[in-house]
């Protein structure tokens, strides 16, 4: 038989009973929750899916496709990406791409790839690329794409998280298939008075093919740095520091071309490539052959101006002088002229009579003549580099006694 305890239960003065304690605890939790400011349910963790690429471009060079794009800054749920991100590349034919809906974030005319790794999009490579940076990747074209009639194929890049999941492929970047033009060999440069002459090993012409010439200013000849002071022959303006020129190769390959925009007294750097321009359906594309090695020329001006023409002599008996005039030279770098004379009567040799300074206008007055003597005159032109032309044809005149 269990006996009841006779020990009295002590109770502190001011303490609460069980119900009061529970109520106080509940009230405290309410206060605590209110202080935390919880307004909604917690958000699920990010899947770390990089945003799809939207600016993929592709360039065909020989048997390679060079892809360029900008890596995204954030995931699809606006979390900043850190470190290198996985990228997967693939390609598919135009017919296959045309059956797909538009890619996320791409324009309505863009055709995406299907899920990467599944036909018909065929794997073309993988890589790791830092977030929020410009990126590039070279893809070796499959043998089946570098022969036969030109077609168009689309390349895609898909960014993946650590588990291989993706938010979708990029926009389509189109290139043309088929054989690439022959690479350029034997590039040689030669300076002439009219500019820089390029020589290369010729090849068979082909419809819609051009030779594309890339020129970059290195420096003014003999002067370090990109100084460019000598004027352009045509318009008097400084030459452009970079320029791209083209020579048609659809009927013949001349193996040479004159770059008259390459001003002398400058160092220039060149590289050239054959480019085939094709239009397939709605797509205009280019196939570039392998570029030539880089070539540089220090195109110093050692070429004299044109010989002055139209020289005429007129006697001024009253002023006891002989006045000369001639057709002005049109070279942009002309500095002036030199006047020469010989005394035909006395049988002297030709000598300079215009002094040390160059004659700027196309005229000159000889006031040192002797009456009764016959004189022969010739004129030369001098450019800013001190190159002097040959003498003009002689003209004769005399002051009567």
| Cα dihedral 258, 260, 266, 270 sign | negative
Q: Rounded to the nearest 5°, which phi and psi values hold at 146?
A: -110, 20
**pLDDT surpassing 80 at residue 118:** no
At 98 the pLDDT is: 53
**pLDDT surpassing 60 at residue 378:** yes
Over residues 68-111, the pLDDT tens digits come to 999 999 999 999 999 999 999 999 987 555 555 444 444 333 44
The CATH code belonging to domain 57-176 is: 2.60.40.2060
At 154 the pLDDT is: 94
Cis peptide before 38 (omega within 30 of 0): no
pLDDT band at residue 348 using 50, 70 and 90 as cut-offs: very high
**pLDDT surpassing 80 at residue 361:** yes
Over residues 175-220, the pLDDT tens digits come to 999 999 999 999 999 999 889 999 999 999 999 999 999 999 998 7
Domain 57-176 identical in fold to domain 188-274+290-299? yes
pLDDT band at residue 67 using 50, 70 and 90 as cut-offs: very high
H/E segment holding residue 268: strand 266-280
At 8 the pLDDT is: 36
Q: Where are the domains of the chain?
A: 57-176, 188-274+290-299, 309-398
pLDDT band at residue 7 using 50, 70 and 90 as cut-offs: very low
At 34 the pLDDT is: 44
Average pLDDT over residues 223-250: 68
CATH class entry, domain 188-274+290-299: mainly beta
Rounded CA-CA distance 214/208 in Å is 19
H/E segment holding residue 30: helix 18-36
CATH architecture of the domain covering 309-398 = Sandwich (2.60)
Over residues 139-157, the pLDDT tens digits come to 999 888 998 888 899 999 9
Rounded CA-CA distance 401/370 in Å is 9
Rounded CA-CA distance 389/305 in Å is 6
At 95 the pLDDT is: 59
Degrees, nearest 5: CA angle 398-399-401: 125
**pLDDT surpassing 90 at residue 235:** no
**pLDDT surpassing 70 at residue 225:** no
At 41 the pLDDT is: 53
**pLDDT surpassing 50 at residue 226:** no
Model pTM score: 0.69
In angstroms, the first-to-last Cα distance of the chain is 173
Parallel, antiparallel or unpaired: strands 334-343 and 195-199: unpaired
Over residues 12-64, the pLDDT tens digits come to 334 434 444 434 444 443 444 444 444 455 555 668 899 999 999 999 999 99
Contact between residue 188 and residue 198 where contact means Cβ atoms under 8 Å apart: yes
At 21 the pLDDT is: 43
Mean predicted lDDT score pLDDT of the chain: 83
At 105 the pLDDT is: 41
At 2 the pLDDT is: 40
Average pLDDT over residues 355-366: 97
Query: 214-224 in b/e burial notation, b at 16+ Cβ within 10 A?
Result: bbbbbebbeee
């Amino acid at each position: 038989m269990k006996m009841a305890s006779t020990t009295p239960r002590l109770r502190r003065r001011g303490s609460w009973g069980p119900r009061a304690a529970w109520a106080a605890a509940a009230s405290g939790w309410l206060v605590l929750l209110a202080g935390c400011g919880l307004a909604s349910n917690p958000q699920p963790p990010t899947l770390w899916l990089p945003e799809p690429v939207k600016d993929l471009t592709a360039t065909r060079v020989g048997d390679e496709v060079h892809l360029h794009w900008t890596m995204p800054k954030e995931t699809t749920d606006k979390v900043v990406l850190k470190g290198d991100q996985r990228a997967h590349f693939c390609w598919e034919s135009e017919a296959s791409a045309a059956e797909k809906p538009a890619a996320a974030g791409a324009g309505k005319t863009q055709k995406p790839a299907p899920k990467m790794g599944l036909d018909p999009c065929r794997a073309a490579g993988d890589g790791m690329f830092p977030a929020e940076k410009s990126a590039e990747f070279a893809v070796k074209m499959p043998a089946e794409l570098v022969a036969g009639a030109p077609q168009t194929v689309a390349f895609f890049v898909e960014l993946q998280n650590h588990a291989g999941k993706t938010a979708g492929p990029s926009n389509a970047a189109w290139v043309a298939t088929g054989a690439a033009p022959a690479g350029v060999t034997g590039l040689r440069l030669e300076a002439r008075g009219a500019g820089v002459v390029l020589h290369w090993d010729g090849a068979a012409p082909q419809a819609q093919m051009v030779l594309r010439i890339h020129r970059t200013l290195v420096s003014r000849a003999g002067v370090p740095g990109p100084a460019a002071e000598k004027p352009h022959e045509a318009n008097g303006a400084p030459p452009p520091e970079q320029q791209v020129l083209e020579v048609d190769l659809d009927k013949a390959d001349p193996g040479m071309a004159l770059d008259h925009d390459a001003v002398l007294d400058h160092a220039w750097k060149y590289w050239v490539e054959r480019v085939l321009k094709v239009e397939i359906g709605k797509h205009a594309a280019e196939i570039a052959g392998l570029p030539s090695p880089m070539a540089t020329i220090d195109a110093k001006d050692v070429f004299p101006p044109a010989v002055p023409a139209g020289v005429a002599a007129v006697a001024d008996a009253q002023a006891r002088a002989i006045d000369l005039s001639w057709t002005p030279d049109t070279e942009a770098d002309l500095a002036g002229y030199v006047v020469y004379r010989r005394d035909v009567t006395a049988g002297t040799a030709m000598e300079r009579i215009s002094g040390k300074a160059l004659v700027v206008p196309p005229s000159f007055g000889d006031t040192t003549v002797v009456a009764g003597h016959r004189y022969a005159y010739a004129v030369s032109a001098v450019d800013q580099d001190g190159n002097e032309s040959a003498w003009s044809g002689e003209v004769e005149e005399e002051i009567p006694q």
